[in-house]
């Protein structure tokens, strides 16, 4: 009887590698639910097997199961998530058939909080690196409860005053700091936003017409 490659992926990855070298066509196989050896290796945290499936046997790292989920959706450790994303190039923004990313599914299910935090940090880093300001720098994600809107003002309509250039400059400087994602950096961001809000309210009181 031929060995079951999925069982080997769980219990004996070295034996699976030997089998795949004899029958490399098995490497990209999927069961009736779309579950693949890449999913199995990621789920069981067999990182060397995961690397070999992608690099040696050329299995697509973004292989999806019947629910549209990649191997990132079944990881249980940060190490497995990091290998998939940082070493093997899997896009963490891929959504399943329900429109969820892996991070969103972990959050909804309450599973593997360390993995959830890692994926949240990836999204924050992506926003910091890709959100571009007028000066070519990143606009940081704000803490929950704060919102800063930057846009153009139509002079024909009543609108809020444009953002204070000094506030913009301080936000951009803070975003460029290495400790931006640390508790200290986030605390400073909160202080900066609170200061801006207090200043806005003060300006509104100053320009409000007197009531005689």
DSSP readout, 97-146? TTS--HHHHHHHHT--HHHHHHHHHHHHHHHHHH-B-TTS-BPPPPPTT-
The answer to whether residues 41 and 8 belong to one domain is yes
The answer to whether residues 24 and 119 belong to one domain is yes
The answer to whether residues 150 and 93 belong to one domain is no
* Residue 190 covered by a domain: yes
The last residue of a domain, from among 130, 165, 183:
130
Q: How far out from the chain centre does Cα 126 lie? A: 7
The answer to whether residues 155 and 195 belong to one domain is yes
The pLDDT, as a whole number, for residue 110 is: 94
Per-residue pLDDT for 74 more than 80?
Answer: yes
The answer to whether residues 114 and 65 belong to one domain is yes
Which of 107-121, 158-172, 175-189 is the least confident region? 158-172
The answer to whether residues 44 and 112 belong to one domain is yes
The pLDDT, as a whole number, for residue 135 is: 41
Residue pair 132/172 in contact by the 8 Å Cβ criterion: no
Q: Is 45 left (phi over 0), alpha (psi -120 to 50) or beta?
A: left
The pLDDT of 119-127, averaged and rounded, is 83
Per-residue pLDDT for 201 more than 60?
Answer: no
Question: Per the structure, how many domains does the chain have?
Answer: 2
Domain with 156, as residue range(s), is 132-205
The answer to whether residues 113 and 150 belong to one domain is no
Residue pair 113/103 in contact by the 8 Å Cβ criterion: no
The pLDDT, as a whole number, for residue 161 is: 42
Residue pair 74/39 in contact by the 8 Å Cβ criterion: yes
Please say whether the dihedral angle defined by the alpha carbons of residues 29, 31, 36 and 40, taken in this order, is positive or negative: negative
The last residue of a domain, from among 130, 158, 186:
130
The answer to whether residues 136 and 162 belong to one domain is yes
Rounded to whole angstroms, what are the CA distances from 123 to 102, 155, 183?
12, 36, 17
Which of 47-56, 77-86, 123-132, 172-181 is the least confident region? 123-132
What would the two tokens of residue 40 be?
């199995």
The answer to whether residues 172 and 151 belong to one domain is yes
The answer to whether residues 115 and 146 belong to one domain is no
């Amino acid at each position: 009887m031929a060995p079951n490659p999925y069982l080997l992926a769980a219990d004996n990855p070295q034996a699976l590698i030997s089998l795949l070298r004899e029958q490399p066509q098995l490497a990209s196989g999927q069961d009736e639910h779309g579950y693949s050896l890449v999913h199995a290796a990621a789920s069981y945290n067999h990182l060397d097997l995961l690397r070999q499936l992608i690099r040696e046997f050329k299995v697509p790292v973004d292989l999806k199961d019947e629910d549209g989920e990649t191997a990132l959706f079944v990881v249980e450790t940060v190490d497995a998530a990091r290998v998939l994303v940082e070493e093997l190039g899997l896009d963490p923004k891929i959504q399943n058939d329900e429109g969820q990313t892996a991070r969103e599914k972990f959050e909804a299910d309450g599973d593997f909080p360390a993995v959830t935090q890692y994926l949240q940090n990836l999204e924050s880093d992506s926003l910091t690196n890709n959100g571009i300001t007028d000066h070519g720098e990143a606009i940081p994600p704000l803490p929950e409860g704060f919102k800063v809107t930057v846009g153009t003002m139509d002079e024909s309509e009543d609108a809020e005053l444009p953002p204070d250039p000094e506030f913009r400059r301080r936000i951009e400087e803070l975003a460029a700091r290495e400790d931006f994602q640390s508790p200290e950096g986030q605390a400073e961001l909160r202080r900066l936003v609170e200061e801006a809000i207090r200043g806005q309210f003060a300006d509104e009181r100053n320009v409000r017409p007197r009531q005689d």
